[in-house]
Structure 1
């Protein structure tokens, strides 16, 4: 019945009891303070990491997009896209991409539903064809070797990288650097379609190469000019017609030396 009475005279006071008697409100303040600190730090950390996660996700979607988007193609799209690349003057439709609202924001339809959408299927297939035709050309000339084919592969990748750098630098110079990187990779990779056609002509007839290579360069330059003007420059807030025309002309002219370098096997 006396269990709840204070310490008896002559008995040692337990440490916890002494602490409680020395600061009867200490535990309460400590618990409240630690709770506030933990809650504040947790909310602050969640805010920092949450905003960082949103920033990373927004930039990834802005600059890289979804890789699966670029492989949603079918035979109808591939056939019509090759016509647009090789004969851009015959493309009578518009060059702008078709947008649709998704989750409160605008998104572009995949290639299977839009002929003007970029894809990576054709660039990869054209690049593989370019390497195969290069190896065949080396074999017909008696110069085939694994090292020679490997050099053609590396040279093709280097040319692709240079083309991507040119288009990206153009966008940054004109104040529109927010186009997804895979879009630019796709547009630059379409060059291997014309190079493959010229390489095939070189195998069939030496003379046809000198006609097909300038023609393929001109067609690619025209395709890039129309695409860059109507699609990639759509996000520009200001438009300087003279400056843009000079830049577009430079892109078109640059196709001749890059095609000549890649097509010389």
Structure 2
């Protein structure tokens, strides 16, 4: 009886071949230039994972919360104090309160004032109205000086000058800027000359620098009328309308300024007596006569 194969032999026959466990470090690729170190854990002193997580987390604020709150509160307090300081001292540099008075106008006042500038012969009462020793706002008194009409007239004059240069094919931003700066420079020189003359003649008047700017700026209304007439009707229309506006501005300035420059003499009842009063009258006439010269000088080169 032949013995069959034993269990040991069968087990031995089916025993798989012994495999080598994979090596913990693979052989480097000879074609790779650098090794992959992305999986490497950073070396942290102490070897604590919490320390590594704390290094990889988002950065905290530069200052602790109490210090940040204190700095913010101090900055807000400093800004508030600076604003209060500016509000208290702004009138020393820019008379905001006075400027509000000169811009207190309405549509009715603007229409009446323009009519007064173009037709001063129809006006009789030139006295400025007062309320408790304070002149009333321009919108309540057509004789009060304002800055709204001079400012808007100056801007309109620059625009009309640009239109005139454009119709003559010689418009350029440089020429328009030169025209605006020239007109502004002449206005400043005129006001400074009047102030110097008032100082030399020693006139005690309530005329302020803003009043002089307002009165000197009214001539731009006549300049606009002359330029528009020149654009529509040529040189003939320009000279006719500009001559009329020159006459009206002279009458307006004399009747307005004589109450300001001659106010002290008028109170004494000696309008035409004495050398000082004659100097005041001559000064009034000179300021009024200067307006047509500047009106012509600033417009004649814009009409061809």
Runs of 4 or more above 6 Å deviation: 56-61
- Matching residue within 237, 257, 277 for 1:228: 257
Inter-CA distance 214–162: structure 2 relative to 1 (3 Å threshold): farther
2:234 equivalent to 1:199: no
Q: Contact (CA 8 Å) 2:262, 2:281: kept in 1 or not?
A: no
Counterparts of 2:97 and 2:247, CA distance in 1: 30
Give the deviation of 1:80 after TM superposition: 0.4
Counterparts of 2:134 and 2:225, CA distance in 1: 34
Gaps of 5+ in 2: 1-88
Inter-CA distance 233–261: structure 2 relative to 1 (3 Å threshold): same
**How do 1:43-58 and structure 2 match up within 5 A?**
none
2:287 equivalent to 1:256: no
Match of 1:188?
216
Match of 2:73?
none
Deviation digits for residues 99-134 of structure 1 (CA, Å, limit 9, x no counterpart): 111xxxx11101011111111100011001100000
Q: What value does the CA root-mean-square deviation take over the aligned residues?
A: 2.6
Match of 1:110?
137
Counterparts of 2:96 and 2:200, CA distance in 1: 20
Counterparts of 2:96 and 2:196, CA distance in 1: 17
Q: Contact (CA 8 Å) 2:250, 2:288: kept in 1 or not?
A: yes
Q: Contact (CA 8 Å) 2:119, 2:248: kept in 1 or not?
A: yes
Aligned residues: 204
Q: Contact (CA 8 Å) 2:191, 2:213: kept in 1 or not?
A: yes
Deviation digits for residues 132-156 of structure 1 (CA, Å, limit 9, x no counterpart): 0000000000000000110111111
Deviation digits for residues 153-186 of structure 1 (CA, Å, limit 9, x no counterpart): 1111022213322432343233236522111111
Larger radius of gyration: 2
2:189 equivalent to 1:158: no
Counterparts of 1:211 and 1:224, CA distance in 2: 20
Instruction: Give the structure with the larger helix fraction.
Output: 1
TM-score, normalised with respect to structure 1 = 0.70
Match of 1:81?
113
Which fold has the larger relative contact order, with Cα–Cα distance below 8 Å and residues 6 or more apart in sequence? 1
Counterparts of 1:144 and 1:261, CA distance in 2: 19
Inter-CA distance 235–241: structure 2 relative to 1 (3 Å threshold): closer
Counterparts of 1:169 and 1:216, CA distance in 2: 27
Q: Contact (CA 8 Å) 1:220, 1:255: kept in 2 or not?
A: yes
Higher mean C-alpha deviation, range 180-189 or range 160-169: 160-169
Match of 1:71?
103
Deviation digits for residues 179-225 of structure 1 (CA, Å, limit 9, x no counterpart): 22111111111110111111111111111111122221221111111
Give the deviation of 1:231 after TM superposition: 3.1
Give the deviation of 1:245 after TM superposition: 2.8
Match of 1:147?
174
Q: Contact (CA 8 Å) 2:91, 2:97: kept in 1 or not?
A: no
Q: Contact (CA 8 Å) 2:205, 2:264: kept in 1 or not?
A: no
Counterparts of 1:258 and 1:179, CA distance in 2: 22
Match of 2:126?
95
